[in-house]
Amino acid sequence: MNAVQLLKTYCLPTLTYGLENAALSEGSKHKINVMWNTSFRHIFRRFWRESVRPLQYFCSNLPLTYLIDQGKLLLWKKMYTSNNIILYSLSRHIHDRFIAVSSQYGVFSPLQSVGMIKSAVWLSFAETVNS
């Protein structure tokens, strides 16, 4: 568990820096997710064919694609609820782009609390692990 904590503390911020406002292709998302999953496989000595979703679930870690989407939703919320007119205007301008992300998790309003947004993303991930 110490290795997982070190991975989250030191590697994850570097890996995800700026991704919440980046337009990533599906190929780029896949490559980043493979790096994250490979780290878990290395720590827990799993083979490359084995899914790391159960490991991530029991370690309370989201897959990287979920973390990126969560970051996008939280950024959108900050922009939408900002007192800065420029940030608010930008959030209204990119509204459609974020609705596409938020609808995957049942988050239909940027006015939902941070905890509710994180919980919705986690529950969406948990459903994929249990199925």
pLDDT at 118: 94
pLDDT at 115: 94
Can you tell me the distance from the alpha carbon of 70 to that of 66, in angstroms, rounded to the nearest whole number?
A: 6
pLDDT at 8: 86
The total of structural domains in the chain comes to 1
What domain range includes position 86?
2-130
Task: Indicate the residue type of 24.
Answer: L
Average pLDDT for residues 96-120, to the nearest whole number? 88
Can you tell me the distance from the alpha carbon of 4 to that of 79, in angstroms, rounded to the nearest whole number?
A: 31
pLDDT at 122: 94
Share of the chain above pLDDT 90, in %: 22
The model's pTM is 0.84
Give residue-wise pLDDT tens across range 68-90: 999 989 988 898 899 999 988 88
